[in-house]
Chains A and B, each alone.
Chain A
Amino acid sequence: DQQVKQNSPSLSVQEGRISILNCDYTNSMFDYFLWYKKYPAEGPTFLISISSIKDKNEDGRFTVFLNKSAKHLSLHIVPSQPGDSAVYFCAASGYYGGSQGNLIFGKGTKLSVKP
């Protein structure tokens, strides 16, 4: 059973508008959430993260929102640029047995930003 779900395989947005990528999780033990961006044939690049004690984290054009009660997080990109076109992965981890556990990834959302 998928513990981290990205229900939209793709998203198309006009340049300059807001991109909103969504992610849901099922495991209430997750306490750290991350977003990665991936271009074809490259490894994922870390974008932004959020701890479960926060509900918002901002870094430039990127903002991540966390709704713990709904087990939902979202990544907002404002304004969207053509260079943002990539696959975005949501990931989660929990603190188990004295160490941070491995990352559990969603299946990704392909974002296309049209000029």
Chain B
Amino acid sequence: KAGVTQTPRYLIKTRGQQVTLSCSPISGHRSVSWYQQTPGQGLQFLFEYFSETQRNKGNFPGRFSGRQFSNSRSEMNVSTLELGDSALYLCASSSPRNTEAFFGQGTRLTVV
């Protein structure tokens, strides 16, 4: 069974630009969550999508948004990038009967 796939693995963007990250969950998993990892803050929850609907949202500004498609694939978008958005962005998927979340390898975003 293929794991959670995130693309791209690495990304360099300039301040003010926008970026879209992609996540393909494990087959059969309908819940996709996004997390931001920075050295000082650890893993912080961004949002969760389930059956194309945002079910939970963390404490991030509106520049961070996401969506989920009918095949459960999810995208995350960050607009008007700031230097502080540089981080490892992790996607996790879980099945309705499991509370364990399985993570992808992440997308390393660097904003210059």
Question: How many Å lie between the Cα of A93 and that of B92 in the bound state?
Answer: 14
B101 contacts which chain A residues (CB < 8 A)? 34, 46, 103
Decide if A12 is an interface residue (CB 8 Å cutoff). no
Q: Mark the stretch among B14-22, B43-51, B72-80 that contacts chain A.
A: B43-51
Chain A interface main SS type:
strand
A-B residue pair count with CB separations less than 8 angstroms: 58
B99 at the interface (CB under 8 A from A): yes
Q: Which of A62-70, A77-85, A104-112 contacts B (4 or more CB under 8 A)?
A: A104-112
Given A43-B4, A43-B104, A43-B106 in contact, is the A105-B42 Cβ separation under 8 Å?
yes
State whether the Cβ of A101 lies closer than 8 Å to any Cβ in chain B: yes
Complex: A104 Cα to B46 Cα, angstroms = 11
Residues of B within 8 A of A44 (CB): 43, 90, 103
Bound CA–CA A106/B45 (angstroms): 11
Q: Are B105's CB and A42's CB within 8 A?
A: yes
Min Cβ gap B86→A in Å is: 14
B24 within 8 Å of A (CB atoms): no
For B45, what are the chain A residues with a Cβ–Cβ distance below 8 Å?
102-105
Interface residue count for B (Cβ, 8 Å)?
26
Q: Give the dominant DSSP class at B's interface.
A: strand
**CA of A108 to CA of B41, assembled, Å:** 10
Residue contact A46 to B102, C-beta cutoff 8 Å: yes
A34's partner among B42, B50, B56, B100 (CB-CB below 8 A) is B100
| Pairs A–B under 8 Å by Cβ, sample size 27 | A32-B99, A34-B99, A34-B100, A34-B101, A41-B105, A41-B106, A43-B4, A43-B90, A43-B92, A44-B103, A45-B103, A46-B100, A46-B102, A46-B103, A89-B43, A91-B43, A93-B99, A99-B50, A101-B56, A102-B45, A102-B48, A103-B33, A105-B42, A105-B44, A106-B42, A107-B41, A108-B42
Residues of A within 8 A of B (CB): 32, 34, 36, 41-46, 49, 89, 91, 93, 99-108
